[in-house]
Every structure is written in structure tokens, then in C-alpha cells.
Amino acid sequence: MDNWWAEEHPRVLVVGAAVFGRASGTGITLSNLFAGWPGQRLAQLYAEDRDPATDVCQRFLRLDPRCAPVEYHLFRWRARTIRGTSSGVPDRSGVGGAGAGGAGVELGSLRARMRAELRAFVDLSPLRVPAGARRWMREQRPQVVYATLGSIRQMRLAVLAARECGVPLVPHFMDDWPSTLYTDRQTLGVARRALLAEVREVIRHSSYGLGISEPMAREYQRRYGLPFAAFGNCVDPADFAGRPGPARPATDGAVLDLVYVGGLHLDRWRSLRQVGEALGRLAADGLRARLTVHAPPQDLDRYGERLGLPGVRLGRSLASDEVAGVLRRADVLVHVESFAEEHCHFTRYSLSTKIPQYLAAGRPVLGFGPAELASMAHLDAAGAGAVVGVDDPARLAREVARLCADPALRERLGRQGLDFAVRHHRADQVAARFAETLARAARGPVGPAPQPRRDPAGLAPGAERG
């Protein structure tokens, strides 16, 4: 047996729907956390219908969509119905099942409820992992399985991988989906009961857990009785701003640019609209400022018209390598969350991928969302800006006016945020702590051994019939 515990980086099998890359928040976080990992000690089993980036990990296996036969044939039928063609399967998260509750779906409509029922039904459907995929897992000789989760089938796949390889599991929770997914009694409550049972199985096979934020890590350690540590997105040192220079004064006809980069789902567009309305009211008092929104193309198509205000400009969707430059050129960065109770339950422990990027840009941040959310508490702890933690349009307008009118304040807040990011979000430092945590997890207890498979009569192989 090799002296693996002396290695800085254990051999890791990454299991989940999202692939390494820059096309999603999870992919970005994975790529940054595992940056610098020795290539021969990292492999990924994934389900997403997307080609992975190979700059961090070079060994991949994508599960054939037919491993989930119900979903595969259902979506092939849907594709033929909608497009009148039998070719291909629509782009989706893949074999791993629906993401954490399909959070981007508008709530309340009959169509949304029907989609939620279908999503739960698909998530409950069988997942068949072929012998070749199981053999590939074992051939990677992992010392720990790291898994990003968010559905019943993603959990089943992660537990299967850990049991197949005989190693501990480390789940990474990025939203509080265990508390919110399938709570509306989809499939008459069967999906919710199955989800809770699979969460218990995940914890039973885990030696360590990870949360996206410190509040999540503390709550999950209390909730599940397992050691938890906090790891979210981190920022390449090359993407950090230099020392912020003097902030632009709101004089001489200059238009100050408040910039938002991110998704518009989870009713974030509503909060952004309120920021735009505040700018409209302040314009009557002579403030020259605008809100520029950069969002994914599908979000701009779906919600863009709802942001049609004089003080709001819809910017183009950004490639991942463009984000740092756009953030550094902003006068104020904007982070929003919804005040709706159903969304707060989902986002209360979440820390957006972009918040470390915001702080590293050295610009002040306007936070607008419930004060109890982890993201707002993080901005407040960083001393990086003004957080409006209540749904109060008058207070929001006052904070916007204060930030825009005081360039010295903006410069000080941006500098404080940058200093916080250097201490807490530098990729080289975070990745080193991440490797230490996974090495510690790899030395932890292994979950229960798999039970012998039984034949249809319920007998273990080799057992005699009476």
C-alpha cells in the first residue's frame, strides 16, 4: 500500500451533475477549488450534457443518458413532440436528475406545478450504472469521493461510487436544498421521503462534509452530527484588483455605473427592478447613475422586459474571462436576493459564486436582500459596502444616494472588501486548505460495506433454497 497519507493531495473521484469548466457557478467553483491538483490524482464522473474543460482535470467519464431510462425516453418523446424530430435529446442536467429543486421556475402557476411533479417523478426513477462505469470508478483508485449534490439520483450515484470504491464520501452542499426540495408534496410526498432517506445515506457514508458558507457549515454540523468546513468559490490572484485609486465623483456630468453580474432567477429580477426604481426617483434630484445588468442569455430573454426602466441598461452576457475586467470598471457593484419567503429558505445559507469576485475587484458593493442571508452577512463582515437588509424602498434610495454622492466612502469600502478577499478568497490559499480538508476526510471512516445482491426470491448468492 502506498504511503498516501503523506501526499499533499489525496486521489479524488469527483461525482456530480456539473462538469469542471467556466459555464456554470458549480463548474467555476470546482475548477478554482481543485486548481493545481495533480492530474493523476483527480478524476470526474459526471452527468451534464456538456464537454468538460481539461485545464484542471483530465480524466472523465460521462454517464450515458440511457442509464436513466425513464428520463431518457421521456425527453426524447418531448423533443419529438416539440420539434417534430427524433434527433437528439434536449440540453438538460443529465443523468444526475433535476438540480436543487429547479429553483429558476416561477412559482404559483399550474404549468410550474406540473413541471415540479414531473421533475420529482423523474428524480425518483431508476438509475442503472453499468458494470463498465463501476469498473472505471474502481480503476481510478480514489481515496475519497467528493460529490456536489442536489437531487435524489445525484445522492444515489455519490453513495454508489463511495461504496463501489470502498472509500469515504465528502458531500459539498451549495444551497439548503435538503430543507426545501419537494416540500410541496410532489408525488404525494413520496419524493420528499425518498430525498430525506438519501440524505441520511449520504451522511452515513461520509467522513466529512462541506458547506458553501460558514453559517451553512455550522448549521449542517449541528443538524447532521458530522464535521463540516466552509468552502465556496475563490479567486485567482491574477484576477485581484490593484490598490483602488480615487473613486469618481458624481459631478461634471459623469454617469455613475452600478453593475450587477449574475442570474435573474429566484426573483432576483424583482429586487434589481427596485434598485432601478430607486435610481429613477433619485434622478429627479439630479443624481446621474444607472444600473447595468449582465445576465445569462436565457435570463435576459425571460426577464429582460421586466427590467425595462429608464435607469436600467441590459448589458450583454459575459464570458467568464470578461467578468473581472467588467467588475473593476464599475463604480458600485450590486448583489441582490429576493425577500420572498420561499426563496429565502433556499438561499439563506448560500454564498453566490460572484461575491468573492466582487470583493476581489476592489469596488464597493450595494447589497439588497434579507439581512439574515449568509450572502448579506458576508458582505457586512467584509465591510465592503452598504447592505439594505429590509424591503424598504426609501432606505434603499438613501443608501444608493449615499454611495453615489461620497467618492471617499466608495474608495474606503472597496479597499476594505479587497483586503478581506485577500485574506479569505485567494485561490492558492483556499485550495491549499481544501486539499488539507480532503486529506483529513480520506483518513476518516469508510461507510458500511454494500450488502450482497439478492436474487428475485430474496436469497443472497450461494444461499440454499429450502
210 CB neighbour count, 10 Å cutoff? 27
pLDDT confidence of residue 103: 46
Residue 64, helix vs strand vs coil: coil
- pLDDT of 368 over the 50 cut: yes
pLDDT-wise least confident of 112-121, 272-281, 421-430: 112-121
Domain extent listing, the chain: 4-234+427-442, 239-424
**What percentage of the chain reaches a pLDDT higher than 70?**
86
Could you give phi then psi for residue 387, rounded to 5 degrees?
Answer: -110, 120
Single-letter residue type at 415:
R
Query: CA-to-CA distance for 387 and 366, rounded, in angstroms?
Result: 6
Residue 424, C-alpha cell as written in the block? 479569505
pTM, rounded to two decimals: 0.87
Topology of domain 4-234+427-442 in CATH is Rossmann fold (3.40.50)
* pLDDT computed for residue 5 by the predictor: 41
pLDDT at 129: 95
Closest by CA position to 161, among listed 283, 46, 36, 41 = 46
What confidence category does residue 99 fall into, taking pLDDT thresholds of 50, 70 and 90? low
The confidence band for 466, taking pLDDT boundaries of 50, 70 and 90, is very low
188 vs 206: CA distance, rounded Å: 30
Q: Identify each DSSP E strand in 94-156 by its residue range.
A: 144-148
Domain covering 239-424, topology: Rossmann fold (3.40.50)
93 has a pLDDT exceeding 60: no
Of all residues in the chain, the percent with pLDDT exceeding 90 is 77
Please state, in angstroms and rounded to a whole number, the distance separating the CA atoms of residues 256 and 290.
6
Residue 248 in this model has a pLDDT that exceeds 80? no
Across all residues in the chain, what is the average pLDDT?
A: 89
Give the residue, 315 or 96, on which the prediction is more confident: 315
Mean pLDDT of 263-273: 97
Q: Among the ranges 75-79, 391-395, 453-457, which has the highest mean pLDDT value?
A: 391-395
Annotate 399-433 with DSSP letters as a single string: HHHHHHH-HHHHHHHHHHHHHHHHHH-BHHHHHHH
Q: Give the integer Cα–Cα distance in Å for 81 and 294.
A: 33
DSSP helix/strand/coil, 230: strand
Q: What would the pLDDT profile of 305-352 be if each residue is shown by its tens digit?
A: 999 999 999 999 999 999 999 999 999 999 999 999 989 999 999 999
Element (H, E) at 12: strand 12-16
Which pLDDT does position 68 carry in this prediction? 87
Does the pLDDT value for residue 465 go beyond 70?
Answer: no
H or E segment to which residue 351 belongs: none
Distance CA 42, CA 24 (A): 20
How high is the pLDDT of residue 53? 93
Please say whether the beta carbons of 4 and 11 come within 8 A: yes
Query: Does position 387 have pLDDT exceeding 90, yes or no?
Result: yes
The yes-or-no verdict on residue 22 having pLDDT over 60 is yes
235: three-class secondary structure by DSSP: strand
Q: For the chain, report the end-to-end CA distance as a whole number of angstroms.
A: 43
Residue 249: the pLDDT is 74
Which triple of cell numbers denotes residue 70? 425513464
- How far is it, in rounded angstroms, from Cα 234 to Cα 176? 20
Closest to 127 measured CA to CA, from 65, 173, 73, 186: 65
Q: Any idea which of 112-126, 141-155, 291-305 has the lowest mean pLDDT?
A: 112-126
Contact between 256 and 288 (Cβ < 8 Å): yes
Backbone dihedral angles phi then psi of residue 219, each to the nearest 5 degrees: -65, -40
Rounded to 5 degrees, what angle do the CA atoms 361, 366, 368 make?
135
Side chain identity, residue 171? P
Measure Cα distances from 459 to 162, 164, 451, 456 in Å. Answer: 25, 21, 12, 7
How confident is residue 385, by pLDDT bands cut at 50, 70 and 90? very high
CA distances from 213 to 24, 144, 206, 293 (A): 18, 22, 19, 25
Going by their DSSP bridges, the two strands 144-148 and 228-230 should be labelled as: unpaired
Interval 394-398 mean pLDDT: 97
Is pLDDT above 90 for 161? yes
The residue-averaged pLDDT of 413-440 equals 97
Q: Answer whether residue 396 shows pLDDT above 70.
A: yes
Helices (H), 284-319: 297-303
Q: What is the Cα–Cα distance from 221 to 218, expressed in whole angstroms? A: 5
What's the pLDDT at 171?
Answer: 98
Structure confidence at residue 377 (pLDDT): 97
- The pLDDT tens digits for 195-230 are 999 999 999 999 999 999 999 999 999 999 999 999
The mean per-residue pLDDT over the stretch 390-418 comes to 96
